[in-house]
Amino acid sequence: MPSQTNARTDLDAFWMPFTPNRRFKANPRLVHRAEGMFYYDADDKPILDATAGLWCVNAGHARPLIVEAIRRQVAELDYAPSFNLGHPLSFELANRISELTPEGLDRIFFCNSGSESVDSALKIALAYHAARGESSRTRLIGRERGYHGVGFGGISVGGIVRNRMRFGPLLVGVDHLPHTHDLKRNAFSRNQPKHGAELADRLEDIVALHHPSTIAAVIVEPVAGSTGVLIPPEGYLERLREICNHYGILLIFDEVITAFGRVGSSYAANRFGVRPDIITMAKGLTNGTVPMGAVAVNSAVYDTILEAADTPIELFHGYTYSAHPLACAAGLATLQTYADEDLFARAHNLSNYWEEAIHSLADARHVIDVRNLGLIAGIELEPRKGKATERALEAYDTCFDRGLLIRVTGDIIALSPPLIVEKDQIDRMVTTIRDVLSKIP
C-alpha cells in the first residue's frame, strides 16, 4: 500500500478526470459561476471562455430559454424511463434532431454522453450486419490519433496511446487507419489541407488484409478535436465513403464535437457534403447543461434490425437515463436557441474573421503550426526537449491567470469559443495567447 501523504484537504476526495491531480490541487483554479461568454472566479473576476466549456457550450452560458426549460421540466416530470414507456419530449426532440441531420439519418437513439453514443453506434453497426445474415462482419476500423470517448469500445477504436495503454487488450478485431496530420506538407493550412486524401486508400490495404466479409464499420471524426484539431484533407472523407460503399462497410462519423454549429453547419457531414450511415453526437446537443448523447442512424439500418428481429425487443441495448426528461427539455430549448439566433449561420459568417485572427499567430513564439475550420482552431507549439506538454500546460495556467480559458492537448492549444463570440473577444484571445507565448520559455 502506498504511504499516506499530507493531511486530507477539501480537494482530496474528487479524483479529477484527465487532470494532473497533484499539480492542480497544489494550485487550484476554480470557477464559481458563468454567463454568456464568461466564467467567473470566487472574486467575480471574468474569465473569457475560448473553449465553450469543453467543446459543448455552443450557445454561451446560462442562456435564459434553456435554464427556464430545465427548471420547468424538473417540477413537471423529473424522470421517466424509456423502457416500454415514453414521454412526449423524447419524440419531439428526436424529430427536431432528424430535421438537422443529413437526409436519411432520421432514426435517433438517445444515451447520456459522447462515450455512450460511440459504444451505441458500434453495437448498432454489429447488430445491423447480423440482421443481414453477415455475422462474420465484426471487425471495427478506427484511426490513429482518433478520440471516441472512454468506453472500452471507444478506446479500442480510438488511437490516442495513453488512453489505451493501461487497460489491457481491449476489444479484439480492431484495426486503425493512419492519421492525417502532416506538418511537413500541410503546416499553416487554412481550412482543409491540400495533401493527404490518398491516406484514405489505406483502408483498401486493411480490407485486403482482413477481407471485406469481416469488416463491420469504419469510425472517424470528420474533424479530430481532442487530439489537437486535425482537419481532413481535401477529398479524404469522400474517398472513405467511396471505399465503404464498395465493400458494404458502414461509415460512422463521430460528431460529438463537430455537431451543432461548430464547423458553421448543423453537422460536419453537411458541411463536407459526405453522408455517413451513422452519426454520434453529444456536447452541443444540450449546450452542456444536462448530460445527453444521441446516435442518428440511417433508416435502412434501423429497418433492417427491426425486420430481422426474432424477439419483441429488436435491440438489447439502452440506458436508465436514455431520453431523460430534463435532458430532452434542455435539448429542445438549445435547438430553439440555435434557431432563434441563427447561430450556425453566425458561426459560418464569423469563420473568415476567426481564420485571419488565428493565423496571425503564425509568427508567434514557439508556434509551429496553425489550423482552423469553422470556429475551431489548433495552435501547435514546439515541445520542450524531453518535456512534452509542459509548455502548453504553462500557457494554459498563464492564460487563465490573465482571464482567458483555453484548452491544451499535448503541446497543442485548442480553441472552440461559444458561437456567440464577438470579434473583439476573438481579438482578445489572440492578443493574450501571443503575449503569453512571448513570455514563457
Q: Report the distance separating Cα 374 and Cα 225, nearest Å.
A: 13
Q: What is the mean pLDDT of the chain?
A: 96
pLDDT at 14: 96
Kindly state whether residues 94 and 132 are assigned to the same domain: yes
Are 273 and 209 contained in the same domain? yes
The pLDDT of residue 89 is above 90:
yes
Pull the grid cell for residue 386: 524531453
Q: Which of 312, 340, 368 is the last residue of a domain?
A: 340
The verdict on residue 320 lying in a domain is yes
Number of domain units in the chain: 2
Is residue 312 domain-resident?
A: yes
46 and 106 belong to one structural domain = no
Specify the CATH number for the domain of residue 418. Answer: 3.90.1150.10
Tell me, yes or no, whether 49 lies in a domain.
yes
Q: What pLDDT shows up at residue 9?
A: 72
Whether 429 is in a domain gets the answer yes
Which range of residues forms the domain containing residue 424?
Answer: 21-59+342-439
pLDDT on residue 7: 55
Domain stop point among 286, 314, 340: 340
Task: Specify if 268 maps to a domain.
Answer: yes
What share of the chain has pLDDT > 90, as a percent?
Answer: 98
Place of cell 437513439: 109
Q: Which residue has the cell 457531414?
A: 269
Strand segments (E) across 72-147: 107-111, 139-143
Q: Is residue 241's pLDDT more than 50? A: yes
Do residues 170 and 269 both lie within one domain? yes
User: Residue 3 falls within a domain, yes or no?
Assistant: no
Q: Name the pLDDT band for 5 (thresholds 50, 70, 90).
A: very low
Same domain, 262 and 353: no
Claim to verify: residue 164 and residue 34 sit in the same structural domain: no
**H-helix or E-strand containing 437?**
helix 423-439
Which of 340, 357, 392 terminates a domain? The answer is: 340
- Judge whether 8 lies within some domain: no
pLDDT digit string, tens, across residues 155-210: 999 999 999 999 999 999 999 999 999 999 999 999 999 999 999 999 999 999 99
Contacts by 341-344, CB closer than 8 A, 24 or more apart: 341/59, 341/420, 343/58, 343/59, 343/261, 343/419, 343/420, 344/260, 344/261, 344/264, 344/265, 344/266, 344/419
CATH number at residue 250: 3.40.640.10
Averaged over 424-441, what is the pLDDT? 98
Question: pLDDT per residue over 312-346, tens digit each?
Answer: 999 999 999 999 999 999 999 999 999 999 999 99
CA distances to 215, 248, 269, 434 from 439, in Å:
51, 54, 40, 9
Q: Are 118 and 50 found together in one domain?
A: no
Residues 328, 409: one domain?
no
Q: Are residues 325 and 366 in the same domain?
A: no
What predicted TM-score, i.e. pTM, was given to this entire model?
A: 0.96
Q: How confident is the model at residue 8 (pLDDT cuts 50, 70, 90)?
A: low
CA distance 313 to 156: 28
Which amino acid is located at 37 in the chain? M
User: Are residues 243 and 140 located together in one domain of the fold?
Assistant: yes
Q: Tens digit of pLDDT for each residue in 407-424?
A: 999 999 999 999 999 999
Residue 145: per-residue pLDDT: 97
Residue 3 has pLDDT above 60, yes or no: no
Say if residue 251 is in the same domain as residue 109. yes
Q: What share of the chain is helix, strand, coil (3-state, %, to 5)?
A: 40, 15, 45
Contacts of residue 206, defined as CB under 8 A and 6 or more positions apart, other chains included, come to: 141, 175, 177, 215
Co-location of 318 and 308 in the same domain: yes
Per the domain annotation, does 231 fall within a domain?
Answer: yes
Question: Is a pLDDT exceeding 50 seen at residue 282?
Answer: yes
Distance from C-alpha of 195 to C-alpha of 186, rounded to nearest angstrom: 7
Determine the average pLDDT of the residues in 44-67. 98
